[in-house]
Structure 1
Amino acid sequence: MPKPPTGTVTPASIVEAMKAATHGPSGVRASFARGQCVRGTYLPSDRAKEITKCRSFTTPSRVLGRFTVDGNLGAADADRRMLRGFSFRLGSNGHRSDILTQSAPVHYARTPAQMLGFLEARMPGPDGNPDPAKVAAFSAANPETLHQADHVGARPPTASFAGTTYWGVHAFPATNAKGETRFIKFKVSPVGGDLVLSEDEARAKPADFLHDDLKIRIAAGDVRFSLMALLDRPGDPVMDVTIRWPDEDHREAVRLGTIVITRVAPNDACDTALFDPANLAEGIGPPPDEIFAARSTAYGLKLLA
């Protein structure tokens, strides 16, 4: 069991807190530890070049991806409180980009200090559970840290990795060939639409059903997602990952391309090729928020491997 953090805000202390709060053993990822590696292809749309000159998004390429469930290693796939994730790598040598997305459009903390406080409030006590009073006190003082849980809690359990919408919570500066730069958010939408379960259906599912379902779907045929770019408007909160852009679900979006998942891959392929959010090819810049900077450092130090 990792030692609880000391309160010093560093990427390392945040990772230690993540593992302590979720009972995560050493040698595994601090978040989204349970997953399945996949391979496929990416086909750009005719409009991708309007948004970015980044060759990761404007040229066809192979895809390495990983579908995941966050939370305790022992949690069931049907647990609606757990985020689902989809990380993927586009492009080839010299213009690769790694994009990390999740099944909620916001993060649970605005700054690294707030993130550490959120995790410390949820440290397990002698009985193995967090103190509800500490969680309530922190939430009352930091109401924005509840936005992610509110979003997840309001949605029915997902029925499939292949039928889940995933968001990139950060605002990325995208520059096209004309030198025009604007902020975008990534959204990965299942071509067949979202697939959900009733509460009774979820309770009847086996613990690893999402992983089994993915393998069955890929064996029966490819799994497809539209990679979308949500376009910014003046005044959008690009520095705060705990809140959505106004009218985000109905604003202008451009389909950058289609991700086609064609086969399951050995998980060590994704363990070896760590997805690094700072790995961005020319034409897509690093987001300006504090959480991205801390996340980038943690992955660079391989703290989240």
Structure 2
Amino acid sequence: MNEQQPPGARYRLWPPHPRALAGLGATGLVLAGVAGAFAYTGGFLSPGKLTQSRFIDRFQALNGVHPGFRRNHAKGVCVTGSFASNGAGTRLSRAAVFAPGSVPVIGRFAVGIGKPFMPDNETEVRSLALSFRPAGGEEWRTGINDIPAFPVRTPEAFYELMGASAADPATGKPDPARMQAFLAAHPESARALGLIRARPFSTGFANASYNSLDAFRFVNAEGVSTPVRWTLAAVDPYVAQTPAPDAPHDPNYLFDALIVRMQQAPLQYRLVVTIGQPGDPTDDATQPWPADRDEVEVGTLTLDHIEAEAPGNCRDINYDPLVLPDGIAPSDDPLLSARSAAYSVSFTRRAGEEKTPSQVQVPETQTPGAQAPVTPSDTGKGS
């Protein structure tokens, strides 16, 4: 789908904002980082009351308006590379991306900040958005985070979470009592936060692993539908960041470390599909599936080129998770439709605004062994 033609009700874009919950400590960092990981489809809740425009308006109220930037996950950098399928995914899905061979990929690393000029230590959540582009014109877009669960189950709860995260006009800070009341009313969110806090965040983008969180369905050539989730597991060894830097001298330390790492050698991630079993929730992203579920490694993602956001690259792609090829279908997770139309609103607003250069700049040094970067114009999509 061409991002300059905003997607319809079946399509979306993607995620988070700054430390709106600074007064709540580490939990605040997590909630602020993941709160924006979804937006809303018009009229899905109460017609005439809650629309995709109101969701984006609330993002803007929380973060301010930064013309030309995404309303969430505003701070990011573009990467390109390829996905090499090993063919193992074809028993689960007829999608062309899983046929043996290699397809080009355009991606974007970002942090959970809605303000594009905030320092990296104002969040802990990292994200990776990808557009897989096999021959034939179909496309698979996905946006994934380095957390094990999403903190809310429904669109209604997300809207409440944003309200609870808002700063009190009298103090300029979030009200801890409002957040405590939200968590008391949503025990599933409290449980999800416990899972998120149980494992420290990684030291950077390169050694983080990224999870789909929402469930989808893979459909194979015989029409058999299988519930799945997926993970891009980092090949670089995980190293815990404990604690996060208080006030790093380099406000872009996460991105600068990623640039240095990619200029040394390509990054690689294993795409691992988890197969759901009867009874596993497909409509609740706050609940991870049991650890003993079957997993299938279906290929390897290699990212070999990095560049600053600019016209024609990842800056102009709406990473809608419901841009799906034949062979991949949405589940009954209510967050999926809720993460679609508002992304269209966000894209439409920023597309009509004057663009400001990203704070994350990349020296013109090619990664060893890198291929020519893929751009939206290479495939006629996202330009």
Give the TM-score of the pair, scaled to structure 1. 0.89
- The question of 1:207 aligning with 2:248 is answered no
* Counterpart in the other structure of 2:112: 70
Deviations 1:43-74 (A, max 9, x none): 00131211211012334211100011003535
Counterpart of 2:124, as a letter, is M
Counterpart of 2:323, as a letter, is N
Relative to 1, partners in 2 of residues 1:158 and 1:254: Cα closer, same or farther, differing over 3 Å? same
Deviations 1:179-217 (A, max 9, x none): 211011011100123232332767656321110111111
Relative to 1, partners in 2 of residues 1:272 and 1:303: Cα closer, same or farther, differing over 3 Å? closer
Deviation at 1:38, TM superposition (A): 0.3
Question: Does the residue aligned with 1:267 lie in a helix, a strand or coil?
Answer: coil
Note if contact 1:118-1:138 (Cα within 8 Å) is conserved in structure 2. yes
* Counterpart in the other structure of 2:175: 131
* Counterpart in the other structure of 1:14: 55
- Structure 2 residue corresponding to 1:232, chosen from 276, 282, 301: 276
Question: Does the residue aligned with 2:110 lie in a helix, a strand or coil?
Answer: strand
Note if contact 1:9-1:112 (Cα within 8 Å) is conserved in structure 2. no
* Counterpart in the other structure of 2:356: none
Note if contact 2:148-2:196 (Cα within 8 Å) is conserved in structure 1. no
* Counterpart in the other structure of 2:140: 97
- Structure 1 residue corresponding to 2:298, chosen from 241, 251, 256: 256
Paired residues, what number?
297
- Structure 2 residue corresponding to 1:38, chosen from 58, 79, 85: 79
Counterpart of 1:152, as a letter, is I
* Counterpart in the other structure of 1:3: none
Q: Aligned partners of 2:187 and 2:66: how far apart in 1?
A: 30
Superposed counterparts of 1:187-198, under 5 Å: 187-198=231-242
Question: Does 36-45 or 267-276 show the bigger shift?
Answer: 267-276
* Counterpart in the other structure of 1:48: 89
Unpaired runs of 5+ residues, structure 2, are 1-45, 351-383
* Counterpart in the other structure of 2:6: none
Q: Aligned partners of 1:32 and 1:231: how far apart in 2?
A: 29
Relative to 1, partners in 2 of residues 1:303 and 1:16: Cα closer, same or farther, differing over 3 Å? farther
Q: CA RMSD in A?
A: 2.3
Unpaired runs of 5+ residues, structure 1, are 1-5
- The question of 1:272 aligning with 2:316 is answered yes
- The question of 1:117 aligning with 2:160 is answered yes
Question: Does 127-136 or 182-191 show the bigger shift?
Answer: 127-136
Counterpart of 1:70, as a letter, is G
Question: Does the residue aligned with 2:256 lie in a helix, a strand or coil?
Answer: helix
Deviations 1:67-120 (A, max 9, x none): 1100353544245x5311001011235221001100112222211111111111
- Structure 2 residue corresponding to 1:165, chosen from 194, 209, 215: 209
Give the TM-score of the pair, scaled to structure 2. 0.72
- The runs of 4+ residues in structure 1 deviating greater than 6 Å are none
Relative to 1, partners in 2 of residues 1:205 and 1:169: Cα closer, same or farther, differing over 3 Å? farther
Note if contact 1:14-1:115 (Cα within 8 Å) is conserved in structure 2. no
Deviations 1:231-280 (A, max 9, x none): 011101101112111x23x4211112110000103312112122121210
Relative to 1, partners in 2 of residues 1:202 and 1:229: Cα closer, same or farther, differing over 3 Å? farther
- The question of 1:288 aligning with 2:329 is answered no
Relative to 1, partners in 2 of residues 1:23 and 1:87: Cα closer, same or farther, differing over 3 Å? same
Q: Aligned partners of 2:111 and 2:157: how far apart in 1?
A: 23
* Counterpart in the other structure of 1:156: 200
Q: Aligned partners of 2:183 and 2:142: how far apart in 1?
A: 29
Relative to 1, partners in 2 of residues 1:46 and 1:57: Cα closer, same or farther, differing over 3 Å? closer
* Counterpart in the other structure of 2:229: 185
The percentage of aligned residue pairs carrying the same residue is 26
